[in-house]
Amino acid sequence: MSQQTLTAETDSAQFSEGPADASTDVLELDGLTQEYGAETAVKDLTLSVRDGELLTLLGPSGCGKTTTLRMIAGLEQPTRGTLTIDGETVASETGCVSPEDRDVGLVFQNFALFPHLSVAENIAFGIDDWDADDREARVDELLELVGLTDHREKMPAQLSGGQQQRVALARSLAPEPDVLLLDEPFSNLDVRLRVEMRQEVREILKATGVTAVSVTHDQEEALSISDRVAIMNDGEIEQVGKPELVFENPKSRFVASFLGRASFVPGRVRGDVVETQLGTLHTDQLNGPIEAYDGARIDVLLRPDDLTAHLEHEDAADGHIVDRQYNGPTFVYTVELTDGTAVRCLHNHVETFEHGQPVRVDIEADHGLAWYPT
Ligand code: ATP
């Protein structure tokens, strides 16, 4: 039995997402593959996105996120597989519907606003074939939705970065697309604004009920805005699910390492306990059934918020402080354990340790811990 199977069972037991209802899927990718010569950028990708859902493709540079988004938009034809939007097959081995004939909106990294058009004209751009009254009503509605009614006559250069992003969003939403695609939508904003805009963009998308797919390599962004995240690695999806579920129960070491600052602490299963160099854990503290691994070596996933360090005499210490990162309200200390494993401990900003000090490390997790067979 694999850890993957075990955690899948735990997932459904812990957080039921309810039965899958195919009739509510707006976007369906089935065996989607993109090859560039000898290189396979996206491999046999199968994924459904539900009506009104915001799903984020998250993964390291080069894992195939943008290629997937471009295939959904119709900017690239897949080598194999099919793509269905609102029940219509828009890409398959037999043909491909052009981007302008798909009900898909796109928000680019750089917002791509027309500099010579006002805010209202930018928003109206994609609906110039609408009746004039309907068009004006739609622009008014969107200006109100994105909080820019008082800025309708301004030119893009007269707007802040956050306001430009809201115009770009309103422009893409104007034709009421079946699916909205967002390509690294926050990467052009400074860090403070980025955090503010995440919540705002999510609220706007939820208010319209649009089905959306976003792409990012920023895990915090993906976890905070999405209904579900799909973690990609080397052209394939490793895990898809609710952010909290994927974060707390990563099915593979790759997903665990990509989300949060993961350490893997070796342990041995002995009956209903797991012995580690940081103490003994009861198997109840671990995710999923572990009986089949009695006597085996496993690695337990521990993140900074699961661990605390305490000053200790050299003889009884688990390891030594080798690094300290100050983050304002918190410190993250890196402790090198006696076997060379590095673990990180999250502390309040007033709890200070010096480089080289011997410490004991306690596991203080109040949630099930993920583990992987060695
Ligand atoms: P990033 O976060 O850096 O944008 P990504 O996950 O979006 O990365 P893609 O842009 O989808 O990754 O690229 C996936 C792989 O396909 C990469 O190895 C890339 O070099 C390759 N690739 C993408 N477009 C082309 C192309 N037009 N021709 C050849 N190879 C390509």
pLDDT score for 111: 77
Ligand 1 mean position to 67 CA, how many Å? 6
Q: What pairing do the DSSP bridges indicate for beta strands 39-50 and 54-58?
A: unpaired
Q: Measured from the CA of 232, which atom of ligand 1 is nearest?
A: 6
Residue nearest to atom 31 of ligand 1 (CA): 36
Q: Measured from the CA of 217, which atom of ligand 1 is nearest?
A: 2
Residue ranges for the chain with pLDDT beneath 50: 1-22
Nearest to 171 by CA among 204, 211, 217, 196: 204
Residue nearest to atom 3 of ligand 1 (CA): 61
CA distance 28 to 69: 13
CB 179 within 8 A of CB 49: yes
- Which structure tokens are listed for 34? 């993109």
* Best residue for ligand 1 mutational test, from 35, 57, 63 (most atoms within 8 Å of Cβ): 63
The string of pLDDT tens digits covering residues 153-184 is: 999 999 998 899 899 999 999 999 999 999 98
| Dihedral angle of Cα 140, 195, 366, 289, to the nearest 10 degrees | 70
pLDDT score for 162: 87
Tell me which residues have their CB closer than 6 angstroms to ligand 1: 36, 39, 41, 59, 61-67, 217
Amino acid symbol at 258: F
User: Distance of CA 184 to CAs 77, 237, 240, 285, 318, Å?
Assistant: 21, 18, 19, 37, 42
CA distance 349 to 373: 35
Nearest to 138 by CA among 174, 189, 183: 174
Amino acid symbol at 291: E
Task: Please report the domains of the chain, with CATH numbers, ordered by start residue.
Answer: 21-257 (3.40.50.300), 263-373 (2.40.50.140)
pLDDT score for 109: 80
The string of pLDDT tens digits covering residues 91-146 is: 998 889 999 899 999 988 877 899 999 999 999 998 989 999 999 999 999 999 99
CA distance 3 to 58: 22
pLDDT score for 19: 42
Residue nearest to atom 28 of ligand 1 (CA): 36
| Number of residues in the chain | 374
163: left (phi over 0), alpha (psi -120 to 50) or beta: alpha
